[in-house]
Structure 1
């Protein structure tokens, strides 16, 4: 049976910081991370989606957490085809921001930024969360092939946001593609009634890792404010739906990461704590 690690998709989210979950004396950058890492064994660093990771920061993350604590690092927005704020781009990029030379430089800086975590054995995975407009097809295959070439030797997990990747016969094709690149598939939980809802399938595409990201079941997904999109309190019944799925994943992989992304106040840390109790891990 593989190891099951449960955590959240951020420890620095403004709503969590403002919720009072961090006690007095633990509200600075170092204190927050130490407090979180005393309670959970894994976290997703989502700040790296909004800005390129910094080597010094990655080194500090490793130094401030236990030796068996791991970070899943979300890929920078430009590397997954999302809109990217000009202010988030490094200065002095050669040519147009999406030119081959510019992308090569962004990839280099991202690689350097996560380097200390890789060297310390603390990189759980790099998460490539692709946008909903990336559908199955020739262009997507080229994107995945390029990603695989640039991340050779890294632990990588992939989340598709367009539901067609996991519907009908395409499900098997998608799993085979991820398996051929050594990428772990990300299973998701979200409001199932939405037209954009990704099915809660749990394919195993890597013998080393499987990832589950629980986004909450807000019907405002894709609309409204961030709090509207992620406002959801998981019930025990909803969590129990995932218990056999998570255990089945653990039976086929070395490690399973279960990460809560319902980041409204302290809802994610409370759900993660409850899930650990239900799984007794």
Structure 2
């Protein structure tokens, strides 16, 4: 049975910081991460989507967390085809901000991104690199080519892939998507979210890597795909909603070395509360139904 690590998507989200979850005396940058790491063994770094990471931060994150702690790092926006503000680029690259289709430019972005993360990798704290592709990244030959280029660029790095276009996991394409990610040795990211919306991703749990499976809980807000960030992610998971996933997580853990379970319903302290509840739920005695989920 593989290891199941449960945490949240970010420990620095403004709503979490202002919620009061961090105790007095532990609300500075160092105190927050140390406090978080006392409660959870994994976290997703989403700041790296908005700006390239730095070696300094990677070193600090390593110093402030215990051995065995894992960081799943979200890929910089340009590496997944998202719009990127020139100001998010290093000063010497801003003049090339328009060259998003230039492989040489993207290779330079990748080298800077990956070099900054080597302290995490060298100390065993890197869980995976999360490549989250946008809703317009639809299945097809062109997108498959992008995925292959992405995997070659990230050769020898652990990679997980999340699709925001539901077509990748619909019945008529699911087997092809699973085969492609398996070929690329990229962990498929399963998601929990509201169903019945135009952009709803089916709650499937494919296994495409023997090393890792990732499940991200986005909440079940009906405002997914529209409204403010708070509207899209505002959701407090009920015990029954979490319990639905218990057999699925056990089933994943029976097939991979590690399962990362990350809560992204980041409004106030909703994500840390849900993560703590899921930890308690998974720590209880295994129910026979878990083996068949």
Q: TM bucket by the smaller chain? A: over 0.9
| Residue 214 (structure 2) pairs with residue 211 (structure 1) | yes
Counterpart of 2:243 in structure 1 is 240
SS at match of 1:38: helix
* Equivalent-residue separation in structure 2 for 1:102 and 1:169 (angstroms): 35
Counterpart of 1:140 in structure 2 is 143
* Equivalent-residue separation in structure 2 for 1:69 and 1:78 (angstroms): 27
Please identify runs of 4+ aligned residues in structure 1 that moved more than 4 A. Answer: none
Counterpart of 2:256 in structure 1 is 253
Matches within 5 A, 1:10-49: 10-49=10-49
Say which is worse superposed, 120-129 or 95-104, in terms of deviation.
95-104
* Equivalent-residue separation in structure 2 for 1:178 and 1:86 (angstroms): 31
Q: Which structure 2 segments of 5+ residues have no match?
A: 285-293
1:121 deviates by: 1.1
- CA RMSD between the two structures: 1.0
* Equivalent-residue separation in structure 2 for 1:193 and 1:266 (angstroms): 26
Counterpart of 1:151 in structure 2 is 154
* Equivalent-residue separation in structure 1 for 2:38 and 2:145 (angstroms): 41
* Equivalent-residue separation in structure 1 for 2:229 and 2:99 (angstroms): 27
Counterpart of 1:172 in structure 2 is 175
* Equivalent-residue separation in structure 2 for 1:199 and 1:110 (angstroms): 31
1:178 deviates by: 0.3
* Equivalent-residue separation in structure 1 for 2:175 and 2:133 (angstroms): 19
Matches within 5 A, 1:60-209: 60-93=60-93, 95=96, 96-98=98-100, 99-209=102-212
SS at match of 2:162: strand
1:101 deviates by: 2.6
Q: TM-score normalized by structure 2? A: 0.94
Q: Is the 8 A contact 2:107 2:153 kept in 1?
A: no
1:256 deviates by: 0.2
SS at match of 2:115: helix
Offset from partner CA, 1:74-127 (integer Å, 9 cap, x none): 000010001111110112227443123321211111011111111111100000
1:49 deviates by: 0.4
Q: Which structure 1 segments of 5+ residues have no match?
A: none
Q: TM-score normalized by structure 1? A: 0.98
Counterpart of 2:231 in structure 1 is 228
* Equivalent-residue separation in structure 1 for 2:110 and 2:150 (angstroms): 10
Counterpart of 2:289 in structure 1 is none
* Equivalent-residue separation in structure 1 for 2:280 and 2:70 (angstroms): 20
* Equivalent-residue separation in structure 1 for 2:107 and 2:208 (angstroms): 28
Counterpart of 2:4 in structure 1 is 4
